[in-house]
């Protein structure tokens, strides 16, 4: 009986010890939870204060930076306008139309001879220089501004065609402008930059291909189409090169990523520029390779870049016998490029 009593006391002590441990563990857990709640509450209060201070400070600074940035742009725009205004007052530009009219009269005369032909050729070059200077002055007005204006697409493409950059003249470029008689809102300088970068990439690919294959007959075509479902004007650039590498098909002109890192920081930014200007003007782009199949095999025969802009109503002074709604009733089919 004494042994049983001792065993009972021992069991009771063990039980009390376990209950005490459990109670202490519960107290520790409750204390830890309370501490955690205090930390969470402090963190929330601290976070709210930091967010408020950060938002206020950054917001004020951003507003200040934005105001200063706009002021700088406005000052630059004013300076450029003053410069272009003074340039337009130059007598040589005032006589540009006179020279053009004189050339037309000379060309209509029947008393042409070798000396007159030489003189006409020289004056024609001078007139061409005047037109380029005048265009550069007009571009300066828009280059520094983010303002959009309404232009007829055919006018923009004709202007670009008449003053192709020298670095893309080695390859024949044909402009088919019979489906371009509609209007878009854009900055003319940005439009020119978009088209120039796309043509430059096609030109570079074709020049590189000529080095490898002298029998190749490189060709670039620029034409227009209208997507009636989305009311978008499309400028399409096609070439008969070796196509765009597959890893660039979903990136070229479609991401703010600099794709060509082999030429240093000063070059390889064309795709980024096109992406930025398209984003600014609600433009879209589609990049694809042209393919040809003979039944068994499919080969790449070139590349196509399609740039789209929303069509807007043409101002009354732009309208002619053809309206945008009358254009492109059927699909566009300009045939295929001659394969290299």
Q: How confident is the model over 232-247, as pLDDT tens digits?
A: 999 999 999 889 988 8
Cα-only R_g, the chain: 35
By DSSP bridging, strand 173-176 and strand 220-227 are: parallel
pLDDT at 91: 64
In the block, residue with structure tokens 């003074």: 86
pLDDT digits 0-9 by tens, 104-139: 777 777 766 777 788 788 877 877 777 777 777 766
HSE, side-chain direction, 13 A CA sphere, residue 292: 14
Find all residues with CB under 8 Å of 132, minimum gap 6, and list them. 163
Find all residues with CB under 8 Å of 337, minimum gap 6, and list them. 219, 221, 238, 239, 240, 290, 301, 302
Least confident of 67-71, 123-127, 216-220, 275-279: 67-71
Q: Which residues pair with 312 in a beta bridge?
A: 183
Q: Domains of the chain by range and CATH?
A: 148-331 (3.30.565.10)
- Does the structure show a pLDDT above 50 at 322? no
pLDDT at 121: 82
Q: Which residue has the higher pLDDT, 121 or 336?
A: 121
Q: Please, where are the H alpha helices in the chain? A: 2-88, 91-94, 96-108, 114-143, 153-162, 188-212, 270-280
pLDDT digits 0-9 by tens, 124-180: 787 777 777 777 776 676 666 667 889 999 999 998 898 887 778 888 999 998 888
pLDDT at 153: 93
Query: What is 136-177 written as a DSSP string?
Result: HHHHHHHHT----EEEEHHHHHHHHHHT--GGG-SS-EEEE-
């Amino acid at each position: 009986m004494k042994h049983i009593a001792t065993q009972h006391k021992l069991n009771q002590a063990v039980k009390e010890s376990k209950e005490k441990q459990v109670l202490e563990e519960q107290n520790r857990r409750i204390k830890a939870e309370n501490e955690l709640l205090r930390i969470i509450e402090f963190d929330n209060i601290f976070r709210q204060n930091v967010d408020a201070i950060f938002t206020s400070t950054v917001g004020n600074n951003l507003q200040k930076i934005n105001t200063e940035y706009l002021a700088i742009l406005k000052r630059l725009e004013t300076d450029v306008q003053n410069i272009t205004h003074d340039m337009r007052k130059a007598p040589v530009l005032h006589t540009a139309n006179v020279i053009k009219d004189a050339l037309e009269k000379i060309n209509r005369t029947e008393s042409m001879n070798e000396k007159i032909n030489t003189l006409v050729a020289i004056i024609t070059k001078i007139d061409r220089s005047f037109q380029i200077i005048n265009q550069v002055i007009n571009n300066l007005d828009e280059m520094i501004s983010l303002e959009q204006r309404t232009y007829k697409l055919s006018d923009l493409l004709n202007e670009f065609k008449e003053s192709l950059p020298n670095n893309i003249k080695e390859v024949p470029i044909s402009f088919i402008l019979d489906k371009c008689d509609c209007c878009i809102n854009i900055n003319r300088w940005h439009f020119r930059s978009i088209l120039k970068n796309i043509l430059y990439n096609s030109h570079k690919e074709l020049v590189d291909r000529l080095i490898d294959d002298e029998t190749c007959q490189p060709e670039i075509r620029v034409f227009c189409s209208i997507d009636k479902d989305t009311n978008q004007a499309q400028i399409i650039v096609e070439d008969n090169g070796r196509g765009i590498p597959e890893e660039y098909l979903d990136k070229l002109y479609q991401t703010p990523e600099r794709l060509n890192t082999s030429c240093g920081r000063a070059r390889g930014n064309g795709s980024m520029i096109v992406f930025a200007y398209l984003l600014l003007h609600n433009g879209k782009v589609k990049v694809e390779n042209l393919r040809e199949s003979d039944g068994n095999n499919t080969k790449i025969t070139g590349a196509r870049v399609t740039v789209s802009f929303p069509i807007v109503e043409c101002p009354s002074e732009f309208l002619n016998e053809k309206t945008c709604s009358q254009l492109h009733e059927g699909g566009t089919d300009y045939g295929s490029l001659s394969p290299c």
